[in-house]
Amino acid sequence: MSVILIILFYILFPVLVLYLSNKYPIVKKIGPVIICYSTGLILGNVGIMPDNATKYQDVLNNIVIVFAIPLLLFSLDVKSWLRMAGKTFLSLILGLVSVLVMVVLSFFLFREKLPELWKVGGMLIGLYSGGTPNLAAIKIALNVDPETYILTHTSDLVIGTFVLLFLITIAQKTFLLFMRPFKTSDLDLMENSADVYKGEFESYDSIFTPKIFFPLLKALGLVAIIFGVSFLLSKISLHYGLVKNASTMEMTIIILGITTFGIIASLSPDINKIEKTFQLGMYFILVFCVVVSSMADIRSFSFSSWPIFVCILLAVVGALILHGILSWIFDIDVDNFLIISTALCMSPAFVPVVAGALKNRFIIIPGLVIGIIGFAIGNYLGVLVALLLKQMTL
């Protein structure tokens, strides 16, 4: 198959998946991310990829992540962070501390078995503070090989399925054994609506109408400027010796640069109010999912990779338990604890699902806001922790 056809498939297949997801509930339940990953794995392992595909895949990966991250951040409502109730903010801090503790613990347990476990640790911090976009960005920033990336995310998907099942079934009753129940006095000050996520962060309806499409072109132009400035900063930093390891730090500086400027741009009402920027960013993430999974060689997956799976299992389950214990110590109710854990360790998309299972619509918006904050800080935390863990391997 020619390179041009492969690239066209990378670009167009996520469009088809999003269309089918909007039309058929079963496709939506499976999830666009899982479908794109699975399709990419099949595409990359049936022997139809051209020999020179890798260099084009690397370029396309970098491009889509550079566009995705700022677009996802443009829709941030930073002012709403200041309106969070104290308990919600405290639960966020406790959740992040729990994830950090368990990832670092996993690193010390398995670092002798996986030389580059520091990269996996960084990706996990990004994944469990933000989500798939952060995982993808940190993969690029740390130059993680495709097999390690796919194994990490596949393990997360498997473990995450069982964690989600626990959250929507017996989690509330389990943690109520030692935590207090939700009370009306725990309500956040933010307005609540069960439809906010679907309307503002999920729906692609009317995206090609002039009212939405042309402002999105403006947003894409701003992304190009943000990338240009970040790229220039990386070159200046490397030229004047402000950072070491030029070969590995260039993309790290660029990723952190586009994250920072994306957050700054979100403070402008003209940028923040552009509709569907989040959805367009998620489209680019789906393109990344297809591309990076098609680069993975499933023959390299073996029993020797078990430390990654166990590391992720310990990080997810351990963080949930530790977060619960800390929440009990600091008198945070069980519903807020569970919804913050969902936003951090799953993604904002699952917040309404878990809130519905808990029969508590009042915790939806705080959970969504926490998830979006995670998107904003995940790249910083992931890269910082990865570099610190790397120093511990020297």
Q: What is the pLDDT of residues 317-373, one digit of tens each?
A: 999 999 999 999 999 989 989 999 988 887 776 777 788 788 887 787 778 778 878
Which residues touch 71 (CB under 8 Å, ≥6 apart)? 219, 220, 223, 262, 277, 278, 280, 281, 284
Q: What is the pLDDT of residues 51-88, one digit of tens each?
A: 777 788 888 988 998 898 899 888 877 766 666 557 78
User: Confidence band (pLDDT; 50, 70, 90) for 194?
Assistant: very low
Q: What is the pLDDT of residues 309-333, one digit of tens each?
A: 888 899 889 999 999 999 999 999 8
Average pLDDT estimate for 284-312: 79
User: How many Å from the N-terminal Cα to the C-terminal Cα in the chain?
Assistant: 44
User: Confidence band (pLDDT; 50, 70, 90) for 231?
Assistant: very high
194 or 339: which leads in pLDDT: 339
Output DSSP code: residue 180. P
Which residues touch 68 (CB under 8 Å, ≥6 apart)? 133, 136, 137, 281, 282, 284, 285, 288
pLDDT score of 291 more than 70: yes
pLDDT for position 123: 93
Residue position matching structure tokens 């959805």:
279
Q: What is the pLDDT of residues 76-131, one digit of tens each?
A: 777 666 665 577 888 889 999 999 999 999 999 988 888 788 999 999 999 888 78
Phi, psi for residue 31 in degrees, rounded to 5 = 105, 130
Q: Between helices 146-167 and 117-129, what is the axis angle to 10°? A: 40
Average pLDDT estimate for 149-166: 84
Output DSSP code: residue 182. P
Cα 225 to Cα 23, 142, 232, 236, 261: the distances in Å are 35, 23, 11, 17, 10
Number of structural domains (the chain) is 1
User: Confidence band (pLDDT; 50, 70, 90) for 261?
Assistant: very high
pLDDT for position 62: 85
pLDDT for position 224: 95
pLDDT for position 299: 67
The Cα–Cα gap between 202 and 196 comes to: 9
> Percent of the chain beyond pLDDT 90?
30
Which residue type does 299 have?
R
108 or 238: which leads in pLDDT: 108
The Cα–Cα gap between 21 and 282 comes to: 13
- Whether the pTM exceeds 0.85: the reply is no
Rounded (10°) CA dihedral 379, 136, 232, 77:
-50
**Which of 43-52, 214-223, 266-275, 357-366: highest mean pLDDT?**
214-223
Q: Cα angle at 223 between 377 and 251, to 5 degrees?
A: 60
> Percent of the chain beyond pLDDT 70?
88
pLDDT for position 375: 81
User: Confidence band (pLDDT; 50, 70, 90) for 190?
Assistant: very low
| Nearest of 98, 119, 97 to residue 107 by alpha carbon | 119
Quick one: the chain helix, strand, coil %, rounded to 5? 80, 0, 20
pLDDT for position 17: 93
Domain with 12, as residue range(s), is 3-393
